[in-house]
Structure 1
Amino acid sequence: MQILNLSSLNQNNWMPDFFKRYNEEINQALKDEINDRLNPIYETHKYYMGFDNNQDPAEKSVGKRLRPSLVMLSSDAVDGDHEVALLIATALEYVHNFSLIHDDLEDRDKIRHHKPTIWTIWGESAAIISGNGMLKIADNIMGKLADVNNIDPSFVLKLQIEMASSYLKMMEGQYFDIAYESVSTISMSEYLNMIELKTGALIESAMYLGSITKNFPSGNHVVSSQMKSIGHELGRVYQIRDDMLGVWGTKATGKPVGADLIRKKKSLPIIHALNNPSREIRTKIRRFFSTEIIEGNDVENILNIMDRIGTYQYCQSLAQVHWNKANAIISGMDLKNDFVNDLKELGEFLLTRKL
Structure 2
Amino acid sequence: MVLMTNSPAPSLNRLSVPELLEHSRALCTPLLREAIGRLATPLDSVASYHFGWTDRDGRPVEEYGGKAVRPALALLSAQAVNASPSTGATGGAAVELIHNFSLLHDDFMDGDETRRHRATSWKVFGPAQAILVGDALFTLATEVLLESPHHSDIETADAARAVHQVTSATRKLIDGQAQDISFEHRDRVSVEECREMEGNKTGALLACASSIGAILAGADDDTADSLDRFGHHLGLAFQAVDDLLGIWGTTEITGKPHWGDLRQRKKSLPVSAALAEGGQASRRLAELLATAEGRGEEDESKLAERAALIEKAGGRAWTQDEAGRQYKTALAALDEVAMPDSVREQFTELAQFIVHRKN
Mind listing any 5+ residue stretches in structure 1 that lack a counterpart?
1-13
Secondary structure (helix, strand or coil) at the match of 2:277 reads coil
Aligned position for 1:275: 276
Partner of 2:246: 246
RMSD of equivalent CA atoms: 2.2
5+ long unaligned stretches in structure 2: 1-15
Aligned equivalent of 2:31, options 29, 48, 53: 29
Which 10-residue stretch deviates more, 167-176 or 311-320? 311-320
After TM superposition, the score normalised by the length of structure 2 is 0.87
Out of 306, 310, 319, the position equivalent to 1:306 is 310
Which secondary structure does the structure 1 equivalent of 2:188 belong to? coil
Answer whether contact 2:117 2:256 (CA < 8 A) is retained: no
Q: For residue 81 of structure 1, report the CA deviation from its aligned partner.
A: 5.4
Structure 1 SS opposite 2:257: coil
Task: Name 1:349's counterpart in structure 2.
Answer: 353
SS of 1:349's equivalent? helix
| Equivalent in the alignment of 2:227 | 227
- Could you tell me which of 321, 326, 330 is aligned with 1:322? 326
- The one-letter code of the counterpart of 1:128 is I
Post-superposition Cα deviations, 1:144-178, rounded to whole Å, max 9, x if no partner, equal 13425665443332221221111111001100000
1:87 aligns to 2:90 (yes or no)? yes
Q: Aligned partners of 2:222 and 2:59: how far apart in 1?
A: 41
Given that 1:72 and 1:89 are in contact with CA atoms closer than 8 Å, whether structure 2 keeps it comes out as: yes
Kept in 1: contact 2:211–2:227 (CA 8 A)? yes
Deviation at 1:38, TM superposition (A): 5.0
Aligned equivalent of 1:44, options 23, 43, 46 = 46
Give CA-to-partner distance per residue, 1:52-78, whole Å, 9 cap, x none. Answer: 37996635x421121122111111221
- The alpha-carbon deviation at position 222 of structure 1 amounts to 2.9
So what's the TM-score if we normalise by structure 1? 0.88
Amino acid aligned to 2:269: L
Shift of 1:329: 3.1
Are 2:195 and 1:179 aligned? no
Instruction: Give distance in 1, aligned partners of 2:352 and 2:98.
Output: 26
Identity %: 27
Of stretches 318-327 and 22-31 in structure 1, the one that deviates more from structure 2 is 22-31
Distance 2:268 2:152 in 1: 45
**Structure 2 vs 1, CA of residues 15 and 258 (structure 1 numbering), >3 Å: closer, same or farther?**
farther
Shift in CA distance, 57/200, structure 1 to aligned 2, threshold 3 Å: farther
Q: What is the number of equivalent residue pairs in this alignment?
A: 337
Give the match's secondary structure for 1:39.
Answer: coil
Q: Secondary structure at the match of 1:104?
A: helix
Which residue does 1:5 correspond to in 2?
none
Deviating 4+ runs (over 6 angstroms): 53-57
The AA in structure 1 aligned to 2:276 is N
Q: Once the 2 structures are TM-superposed, how far is the Cα of residue 209 of structure 1 from its aligned partner?
A: 1.4
1:316-351 per-residue CA deviation (whole Å, 9 max, x = no partner) reads: 111101111122233454322221221221222122
Q: Which amino acid aligns with 1:324?
A: K
Cα deviations by residue, 1:30-61 (Å, 9 ceiling, x for unpaired): 112234655211000111101137996635x4
Query: Is the Cα contact below 8 Å between 1:84 and 1:145 reproduced in 2?
Result: no
What is the CA–CA distance in structure 1 between the aligned matches of 2:86 and 2:304, rounded to whole Å? 51
Q: Report the 3-state secondary structure (helix = DSSP H, G, I; strand = E; otherwise coil) of the residue aligned with 1:182.
A: coil
Q: Which amino acid aligns with 1:315?
A: T
Q: Is the Cα contact below 8 Å between 2:118 and 2:255 reproduced in 1?
A: no
